[in-house]
Amino acid sequence: MKSRTRLIALSGAMVIGMMLSTVHAQQDSDTEQLLQEVQRLRAEVAQMRAGDENANWLNERRRAEVTALVQEVLQDADTRASLESHGHSAGHNGKNFFLAAEDGSFSMTISGQIQIRYIYNNRDQDNSDLDLDGVPDFPDIDENEAGFQIRRTKLTFAGHIGSPRLSYKVRLSAHRGDGDIFAEDVVIGYKLADGLHLAAGRKKLPFLREELVSSKHQLAVERSAVNEFFTLNRSEGVWVKWMPMDNVRVTAALSDGGNASPTDFHVDRTEAPAITARIDVALAGSLDSANDFTAWEGDPFALVVGGAIHYEAGEAGDSLAVNDADQFAWTIDGSLDLYPFNVYAAFIGSHVQDARFFDPLALTTSEEDFDNFGAIVQAGVHLVPNKLEIFGRFEWIEVDAHVVGDVDGDGVDDSEDEDAILLTFGANYYFNKHNAKLTVDVVWALDSLSINTADSKGPFGASAESSGLGLLPDSGDEEDQIAIRAQFQLLF
């Protein structure tokens, strides 16, 4: 019995020992696995810590970059603030510099024009020709003249006040002779309705198309001699522009008359306001094509025709020397743009009634009627698209001589008509369209330019020569005057 008890106890002890040994072994295995897991976690934590350090470094770098960017933005804002005040802005819109209110209530654009020109002139001058006083008409005048000229320097301010309906324009110009600054254009305008605009001030009268096209957008170096002879140029008065449809424009003006200088209201004025009216019709394309004489690549075909009339009644004024003749002028013109070709033509006439002339031999004054006529045809073609363009122009002027009797004492009545024909050939190189261009041309006057006329300027008397054209006076019986002109223009 005892031995069986011992055997059972021994067996139980062995089983318990085996169980304990198994449990211990299992515990050792679990402990090893736990140690491995801890090591793995420690490695991951180390990696995470290293990543956090790199992220912190990147964050610091990004923070520095953002700080520098903010500082640049703030500096730019400070710069803009010098040009802004309570919601105003400034800049360049691709064409002009501008100042404007963000709500659109006020605006101003600023633009400029510079033309630098070189001219060479050759004329056959007879210095021995004598007039009534026995003195040569043009003693010791060189037949060759050359030099540089700042032809135009202009600065223009334009915009609206309070509303886009109320507009203004002021153009300041430097005189090419003495450099004096003067107000070339001063205009206040108001939009009465869509297509109907009223303006007052000093500006060009709506007469010759060539004169109305800006000097910035001419085909040759300068406008034609025909234009200079017949132009009404600027005057002071009121203007009405009406566009009953997109392709029709009617402009009318009541003014102080053609080529009126900016003087007081009672000095050298017409008896009543002069009347000028012009109509332009785009038979094809847009009226905008009439803003210059060049056909640009990509522009649609355009055909624009127009016409104008002008009448003014003269007044003797405060001086008997002032011409008091009634004056009437008219013109018809047209242009065609078909890239690469452009063509423009105009015919002009003027009639002066009861013009007073002085006979130096009889010492008497008489009144006469006379008529003047002129024509111009010009054309151009692009040889290189929007870069190189060649052109040519033909001009003709027929003028009543306005001379009474035998002035030079040769027994011949000098009161006969005089003609002048001029030819122009040249080329334009466009660096940036009209904004930067070089123009070179040659003007050939086949006849004398010293036409003895009644007045000093404009359609009712003038010499066909003009220093602005590069042409000069001659003795009256000479021909073949040539002017070579080169000009660089910059617009901003």
Chain centroid, CA 129 distance in Å: 45
Asked whether 329 and 309 are in contact (CB, 8 A), the reply is: yes
Higher per-residue confidence, 350 vs 418: 350
- Range list of β-strands (E), 83-143: 88-92, 97-101, 106-122
Report pLDDT for 296: 97
The model's pTM is 0.76
| Residues in Cβ contact with 57 at an 8 Å cutoff, skipping those fewer than 6 apart | none
In 10 A of CB 30, how many CB atoms? 10
d(CA 154, CA 181): 9
SS (H, E, C) 251-307: EEEEECCCCCCCCCCCCCCCCCCEEEEEEEEEEECCHHHHHCCCCCCCCCCEEEEEE
Lowest mean per-residue pLDDT among 150-164, 274-288, 324-338, 391-405:
391-405
Q: Is the pLDDT of residue 279 over 80?
A: yes
Angle, CA of 383, 387 and 392, to the nearest 5°: 55
- Cis, bond preceding 244 (omega within 30 deg of 0): no
**pLDDT at residue number 353:** 82
390: Cα within 13 Å, side-chain hemisphere: 3
User: Is residue 404 scored above 80 in pLDDT?
Assistant: no
Given this model, what pLDDT does residue 474 score? 74
pLDDT at 397 over 90: yes
Average pLDDT (231-259) is: 95
Q: What is the pLDDT of residue 374?
A: 95
Predicted pLDDT at 370: 81
Check residues 403 and 432 and name the one with the higher pLDDT.
432
Residue 442 pLDDT > 90: yes
Q: In the beta sheet, which residues pair with residue 310?
A: 276, 329
Question: What is the pLDDT confidence band of residue 289, given thresholds at 50, 70 and 90?
Answer: very high
Which pLDDT tens digit goes with each residue over 187-218?
999 999 999 999 999 999 999 999 999 999 99
pLDDT for res 282 = 98
Averaged pLDDT for residues 168-181: 92
Q: Is the pLDDT of residue 87 over 70?
A: no
Residue 264, pLDDT score: 67
pLDDT in tens, 313-360: 877 654 444 456 788 999 999 999 999 999 999 999 999 887 666 555
Strands 341-359 and 418-430: unpaired
Q: Is the predicted pLDDT of residue 32 greater than 80, yes or no?
A: no
Least confident of 19-23, 124-128, 375-379: 19-23
With 0-12 CB in 10 A as exposed, 13-18 as middle and 19+ as buried, what is 449? buried
33-37, 112-116, 306-310, 312-316: least confident range: 33-37
- Could you state, in order of their start, the residue ranges of all structural domains in the chain? 1-83, 89-491
Q: Is the predicted pLDDT of residue 9 greater than 50, yes or no? A: no
Using a pLDDT cut of 90, give the percent of the chain over it: 51
pLDDT exceeds 50 at position 298: yes
Q: Which residue has the higher pLDDT, 29 or 99?
A: 99
pLDDT reading at 41 higher than 90:
no
Residue 465 has pLDDT above 60, yes or no: no
- According to the model, what pLDDT value does residue 302 have? 98
Mean predicted confidence (pLDDT) in 463-484: 76
Nearest-angstrom CA–CA distance, 256 and 268:
9
User: Is 292 a residue whose pLDDT tops 90?
Assistant: yes
Give the model's confidence band at 5: pLDDT under 50 very low, under 70 low, under 90 confident, else very high. very low
Instruction: Please provide the CATH number assigned to the domain covering 89-491.
Output: 2.40.160.10
Predicted pLDDT at 2: 45
